Each structure stands twice: as structure tokens, then as C-alpha cells.
Amino acid sequence: MANIKKLDPGASPLHYFGAELRWWRERAGLTLEQVGTRVYLTGSQIGQFETAVKVPRDEHVPRLDQVVGAGGALCRAWRLAQRQPLPQRLQQIAKIESAAQTIRAFQPQLVHGLLQTADYAAAVLGAMDGSALEGQVTARLARQRLLDWDEAPLLWVILGEGVLYQEVGGREAMRTQLAQLLSYRDHSRVIIQVLPFRAGAHAGMIGEINLYTYEDQPTLAYTESYGKVDAVVDSQVVAEQAHRYDLLRASSLSVGDSAELISRVMEERYGHRDGTESPSLA
């Protein structure tokens, strides 16, 4: 796992496939040689697939998928690599995220992309642009792999309370999505807070905030709206966004109370309870 950050899934469709292959292989606890032996190739060849130095044959991919236990994810990634390039927008955000040490985000309308389930992502992406939906969902879920890296970035997400109530993809999809948010309660690199309705007018009224901090590069502010993407390192813009984010963080529920609210909404609106009693947050 220590070398996974050397891969850039946004560089090309083949690099994306290679990053997926490495993630699933390491998740299965297999070496390059072990995978190679099981698919009648060498460990060196598997490594070349992962780094996009060589291209696997079509017949290799289902065997690789089975050996590493990807459940079809590698086959889907391969179809994406064969049929279309990664959209420029996805290439850009994948590169921005993969190099960051800290990601701070405020999302007033949607669950953050790094925290979305497949069904939620499909509903969001399908509502905006239904073309090549499978590939877009696969690429979005692949971005989430960075949360499992040994040196994963710290992801700090503030969600507007309305995100919990906006029924994206139907009741079952929302129940699963909120359960996934709760599953990050004990994750050492993920912090989720909710900005409650009672906060009233707040510093995020004009839209989302995305800030990426790096070890040896300036902090970057990233916004995306109606197909337009802005990624800037201007110190004044970044400072203004960071100030807004700090104000939002101060107005948000604590991590524990945020989890209780998510759990309560999951029970009351979508018919499920994760087993904890919640205090009154009104």
C-alpha cells in the first residue's frame, strides 16, 4: 500500500484501470507474484498493468477481477478505459484530491463525492448528465480509494442539514447513504459535521467550499458550478474561503451530535435506526 500514491488515476483511462487493479490486489492482501501465478502471468506483467506500462488483453481482465475479489469493478473499469477517456473534469479533481494532505469541504446540497454510495452517485450524476452514467459512477467511486491509503488525506466535510432530507435516489438509496455516513464515525481520517437549520444565515449561503492543502504547494480552492470549474491558488481567495469555512465549522454541530442527527433522520424519514438513542437537537 505504501506505493499507491505514486499512481495517478486521473492521468489516463489506463492509469485509472491500473490504480483500481492495485487497490483491489492490496485489499486482498496479494503480491504481484501471487496474482500473476493465478492468472498465468508474471508478477512483473501485473505491475506493468498497474502502472499503465502495458495493456492487458481482454481475456485477462475477468480473471484478474476474480482473483482479487473485485466483484466486477475491474471489468467495469476496463470497459470505461476501452470506450472513453476520463472526462477532463474527473481527471482534474482526481489529481487534486490524490496529492492533498487535507481536504476541507462544505456541501450545502449534496453528500460529498468521496462519501457517496453507488446508488446516490448514480442518481446525482444521472440528473445532471445521463450520458456514460456507468463510467461516471465507476470513476467517482474509484476516487474514494484514497481514504484507504496508508497516508490518506484528512477529509473534513460539513454538510448542510438539508442534504439529509433531500431524497436523492429514493428512500432506500438515502437510508443506505446515511448509513454510510455513520460508518465513518470511527474513521481516523474522516470528520463529518452537519450545519443545522437553526444556524440561520451563515457563511456558506453563496455556495460550496472546497479547500485542498498540500505539503509543498499552495492551498488550492476548487469550485464547480453548472459545468464550470475553477481551481485557484490566489492567496486572497483562499484566505476568504478558509475564513468562511472556519465560521461554518464553528456554527456546525459537534461530530457526535452530527452523527446523532444523521441517525435520527435515517430512522424518522427513511425508516431505519442504527441502534443509538439521540438527544433532542432542536
CATH code (residue 17): 1.10.260.40
198 and 92, same domain (yes or no)? yes
Which of 270, 276, 110, 256 lies closest to 191, judged by CA?
256
Number of domains in the chain: 2
139 and 28, same domain (yes or no)? no
What is the 8-class DSSP label of residue 271? S
pLDDT in tens, 44-82: 889 888 887 777 888 899 999 999 999 999 998 888 776
Which of 59, 58, 177 lies closest to 112, judged by CA?
177
Whether residue 237 lies inside any domain: the answer is yes
* pLDDT for residue 243 is more than 90: yes
197 and 246, same domain (yes or no)? yes
* pLDDT for residue 116 is more than 90: yes
Domain CATH code at residue 234? 3.30.870
pTM over cut 0.85: no
Whether residue 92 lies inside any domain: the answer is yes
217 forms beta bridges with none
Contacts of 33 (CB under 8 A, 6+ apart): 42, 43
108 and 176, same domain (yes or no)? yes
Whether residue 277 lies inside any domain: the answer is no
Contacts of 173 (CB under 8 A, 6+ apart): 117, 119, 120, 123
Task: Find the domain containing 54 and state its range.
Answer: 4-83
